[in-house]
Amino acid sequence: MRSLPYNQRGLTFISLMLVLGLIAFFTLLVLKIAPIYFNHSKVLNALEAVEKSTDIASQPRHQILESLHKRFNMNYVEYVTDDDITIVAQPGYVKVDIDYDRVEPIMGNLSVLVEFHNGFEIGGQ
């Protein structure tokens, strides 16, 4: 059976623009959010390095904080401040928590909020 020549096949211009708009939006979203998670992976690497350092349970609070700052500076970590870092250091026990968030504007008044909560605990309390 022959198809009639006036039957339309494919996407209309409006549906093509809708598909391209959705692809552009999700691409923009990935380009805005990916650097935040890349920065967070650097925070995790610094935290793991401090956790694996020798005699961490016997170090005072300021020395642990200084070690974290050195690793943050080496890896160009952004968005983590001293207010975001909680360190409890007692003889034989250390607990380090890093809780921070990042608000990234997408376009206009649309923003994305990403919260991170990481830490470690060594020794018995």
Which structure tokens are listed for 89? 């250091």
Sign of CA dihedral 61, 78, 98, 40: negative
Q: Is residue 27 part of a domain?
A: no
State the amino acid at position 42 in one-letter form: K
Amino acid identity of 96?
V
Give the type of residue at 95.
Answer: K
Q: Hey, which residues does 86 pair with through a beta bridge?
A: 97
Q: Let me know if residue 47 belongs to a domain.
A: yes
Domain span at 39: 35-123
Answer whether residue 60 is part of any domain.
yes
Coil, strand or helix at 113:
strand
Q: What is the pTM of this model?
A: 0.80
Average pLDDT, the chain: 90
Mean pLDDT over 101-119 rounds to 94
pLDDT digits (tens, 9 = 90+) for 2-61: 666 666 677 788 988 999 999 999 999 999 999 999 999 999 999 999 999 888 888 899
How many domains does one find in the chain? 1
